[in-house]
Structure 1
Amino acid sequence: MKISEAQHVLAQAKLLDARAQALESNMVSRLAEPGMVPGADKASFGDLMRDSVNQVNQTMAGAQAKTAAFLNDEPGASLVETMVAVNKAQVAFKSVVEVRNQLVQAYKDIANMPI
């Protein structure tokens, strides 16, 4: 691979990573707005968390499948698509970990409140 091709692929990967982060930010802000999620008034917090974790799991499984396809030189497997899928999975996983950390911190704060 020539240097210019590598730079082009790297630039595309950075652009797609920025798009994935913007998409995640947009999704999080839309969830914070009342009435933006259909049926949100019926869903419990536990249901929302379970659905979010399942979506992250599906995203990670898709990234893993694309990575395996690329490593096995399967037709149609693209380096750029693989990198984008892996970056999306990383961003999604980091989001879930951050939510977990915030929940743990909130629990600790409540547990340490004087009665």
Structure 2
Amino acid sequence: MPIFPEENDFLSLFECEPTLLDTTSKDLPFYYNKATYRFSNGTEDFIVRLSPSYGEVKIQVTQPISNRLLSILDLKRVGKFEITADKKERASVLLTVFNEDSQQMIEIDFKPYFKQIFKEHLTQ
């Protein structure tokens, strides 16, 4: 079962309300829904789609002036989503994907500017 933060943690991190896929069921926990967050750090625009129960994370980054695509990260098996910084001037996360013989770690900074670092470690 993937480990993700609570809904309130994402509200604080992204500083916006999500658009939820299933809005008909008021009793559906956030963990089992699909949430889309749209926000900007002033330099880049972000679209973050989360499906915590499936371990799916998609992050799209564009430049607002030119609408130029900077990055798309589309992960289907995130085992752990950690918020490493959640401050007014700094926001970052660490995503971990566990494979049979390796562990992939993706560090992403949303503020003050976008930065992505991908590392893979062999576990055997």
Whether TM exceeds 0.5 here: the answer is no
**TM-score for the superposition, normalised by structure 2:** 0.18
Higher helix share: 1
Which has the higher relative contact order, 1 or 2, with Cα contacts under 8 A spaced 6 or more apart? Answer: 1
Higher strand share: 2
**TM-score for the superposition, normalised by structure 1:** 0.18
